[in-house]
Chain A
Amino acid sequence: MIVADLSYRELEHRLAGPGIRLRTGPVVSRIQSRLPAVVRGISLHYAEYPTEEDESFADFHVRVGRPRNVRRWLQPQAHFFVDGNLPFAPLPLDQAFPMLEWGLNWCVSAHCHQYLIFHGAVVEKSGRALILPAPPGSGKSTLCAGLVNRGWRLLSDELTLIDIASCSVVPLARPVSLKNASIDVIRAFAPGAAIGPAVHDTAKGSVAHMRAPSDSVRRGMETARPGWIVLPRYQAGVAAELTPLSKARGLMQMADNAFNYSAHGRRGFEFLVRFVDQCGCYEFAYGDLEEAGAVFDQLAARA
């Protein structure tokens, strides 16, 4: 079953009641919410995602709701609950859907230590993963959104999950979070992309989510082999340029953007050395998405 098998009324009803058990890659989250913005967001972004039966195993129980105090009338807020806990401070009510997205990311990065987890977007072509490890503001989400609208498969725009045993990148395809100017850039670049309403004045500025392409959702369990590690840097007006990077620096970039690398200790280090060895490592400056797409197509064709 997929989310779209439910009518909007049924979805609303389920979310207000027992919740839906939504599968995103290896993770099943039971989601509950009565907030209209969350129902709309799930209906738009997760329509094609599989839902699991009630008897299945849900990794996390999450709920976005309103706190029960006077603030609900003065300055309405949204709370994110996971397994009954509140890991974050509440946010203004209109940020309820972005909050669900951030919360779902947090669930994975704070708990799924069976993987090595890196902060970075990851896309795939011909079975090989292109990892864009980067701090916020480097343009990785924009580049990721651009590439998935030009034939690359989305694995994740935020969390790169690497399975140590199989040395593969595990997909967690969810909506791509676009910030500020990127929202209009992607609207112009990919007029067919489904982009939700922008929410303003969040901690990250204005945020809008782009629906993951159908193919990425359908192939949500298909892992990818190590391919490339590329550090993107957006700079207005520059020509796209890919510069080789030493493996050692590639490794350090991954380590700098890791969530739980240190928890894996020596085994994590030794594994990451082997992993990076199998990847091409580059720095990438770009000013135009179309041009960037062409560079990465060439890179993939050369492999």
Chain B
Amino acid sequence: MSATPALLVTAALQRPQELVAYTLRQWEDLVHQARRANVLSRIAQSLGELRLLTRVPPAPRAHLEAALVMAQAQTEAVEREVAFLRKALAAIDVDLVLLKGAAYLIAGLPAARGRVFSDVDILVPFAKLAEVEAALMLHGWTTTHQNAYDQRYYRQWMHELPPLRHNVRMTVLDVHHAILPLTARLKPDSTKLFAASRPIGDKGRLRVLCPADMVLHSATHLFHNDDLSQGLRDLADLDSLLRHFGSERGFWEDLPRRAAELDLARPLYYGLRYASRYMGTPVPSDTRRRADVGRPPRIAVRLMDALYDRALRPVAPSDAGSLTPLSRHALYVRAHWLRMPPLLLAWHLGVKALRREEVTAQ
């Protein structure tokens, strides 16, 4: 494996205790980069838990405190949303699996601490989708994409309904029935995900994915996502989940087996590779060896390494003209490539391009 790129942000996430020795200028770079990558609040949270916040110079500390205020507000907002969701869906016979941030939060996982949230994601059985959507609309959620093509894009090809927005609280909800688009090459079976999911304490019909599935979803999300600007946050999630569940008995043995079962060997391979590459996540050698079945040809790995090294690097203003935007674009195209067969992709990108011109012309 080639040398890990020296990233200020990933170093801070891994070893927050070292930050107290930073000069003001190092703090300046860290605050700006972590703010862009949406992980400033996570760094602040770690410093707080180590009782080191007061040892940060006042100027950068103000930014850490500001980030904590926002993260706390978002945490409370997600808790409220989940309570509203339970109420809205109480009358119908459906199990509700929380995904990503909301799942980490309600399940009380360390990955939620100091995390920035944007929307709430849930997974429901495909057969219940219409019923769930109707119940949500009755309780004030409305679709965000009125355009007929967008509706078709989501409903026919994607793994989720068009995002719903609550008409009073303006919060956004993503209702998934699978963790990858219907058109994607990999086909993880949602019924297996539901079967292995676990209830959360006394939260009625709220559930979360089992540990291995949660990790696999996080890895899949990171490596199929078209928006790499959130890449470091997603990587920090994956790292936190792996460290947390890694101490559970049988987790490391279960993970590669489950990946094979769900057709997610490739995302697991990349997930483990990049979590340890950037975040120093400890992965037992046996698990690593077994995850190697998901390894693509060597040249592809090299290319992906180069792209991720670039894309995860924050674009400093001094970097204007660097390869980072190009790498993000390459990964955007790749994400779409993985989500759709070539002909459909060409059609979709064509429609989007024409529509952009329409908007510009207006």
Which residues in A have some Cβ–Cβ distance to B below 8 Å? 26, 28, 32, 55-59, 61, 63, 81, 83-85, 111-114, 260, 262-265
Contacts and interface: CB of A to CB of B under 8 A. Distances in A.
Interface in B300-324: 314-317, 319-320
Nearest to B320: A84
B316 A59 contact: no
A68 to B, nearest CB: 9
Nearest to B315: A84
A89 B310 CA distance: 26
Nearest to B74: A263
B73 A265 contact: yes
A84 B76 CA distance: 30
B319 A57 contact: no
B344 interface: no
A81 B317 contact: yes
**Interface residues of chain B: helix, strand, loop or mixed (majority):** helix
Ranked 4 nearest A-B pairs via Cβ: A263-B73, A113-B66, A57-B59, A113-B69
Nearest to A61: B317
Nearest to B36: A83
A114 B65 contact: yes
Given A61-B317, A84-B316, A26 B62 contact: yes
16 contacts: A28-B59, A55-B24, A55-B25, A57-B24, A59-B62, A61-B317, A83-B36, A84-B36, A84-B316, A84-B317, A85-B36, A113-B65, A113-B69, A114-B63, A114-B66, A262-B73
B143 interface: no
Interface string B311-344: 0001111011000000000000000000000000
Q: Which of B25, B59, B317 has the most CB of A within 10 A?
A: B317
Nearest to A63: B317
A172 to B, nearest CB: 13
B73 A58 contact: no
B210 interface: no
Given A81-B317, A83-B32, A84-B315, A111 B66 contact: yes
B261 interface: no
B295 interface: no
Interface in B34-84: 35-36, 57, 59-60, 62-63, 65-67, 69-70, 72-73, 76
B274 interface: no
A105 to B, nearest CB: 16
B8 to A, nearest CB: 14
B76 A265 contact: yes
B252 interface: no
Contacts of B27: 57
Contacts of B315: 84
Nearest to B23: A55
Contacts of B28: 57-58
B24 A56 contact: yes
Nearest to A266: B76
Contact of A112 (B25, B32, B62, B72): B62
A61 B29 CA distance: 10
B122 to A, nearest CB: 24
Interface residues of B, number: 27
Contacts of B73: 262-265
A112 to B, nearest CB: 6
Q: Which of B32, B65, B69, B72 has the most CB of A within 10 A?
A: B69
Contacts of B72: 265
Contacts of A114: 62-63, 65-66, 69
B44 to A, nearest CB: 11
Given A263-B70, A265-B72, A83 B35 contact: yes
Contact of B59 (A59, A264, A265): A59
A83 B37 CA distance: 11
Contacts of B62: 26, 59, 112, 114
Contact of A111 (B35, B59, B76): B35
Nearest to A263: B73
A112 B317 contact: no
Contacts of A111: 35, 63, 66
A175 to B, nearest CB: 23
B63 A59 contact: yes
A28 B60 CA distance: 11
A32 B318 CA distance: 11
A32 B317 CA distance: 10
A297 B24 CA distance: 43
B168 to A, nearest CB: 13
Nearest to B314: A84
A42 B60 CA distance: 26
A255 B35 CA distance: 27
Nearest to B73: A263
Nearest to B59: A57
A162 to B, nearest CB: 13
A114 B53 CA distance: 14
Given A55-B23, A61-B317, A264-B73, 15 more contacts: A26-B62, A57-B27, A57-B60, A58-B28, A59-B63, A83-B36, A84-B314, A84-B316, A84-B320, A113-B69, A114-B62, A114-B63, A114-B66, A263-B70, A264-B69
Contacts of A63: 317
Interface string B16-35: 00000001110110001001
A58 B66 CA distance: 16
B57 A83 contact: no
B317 A83 contact: yes
B70 to A, nearest CB: 5
A189 B59 CA distance: 39
A86 to B, nearest CB: 11
Contacts of A58: 28
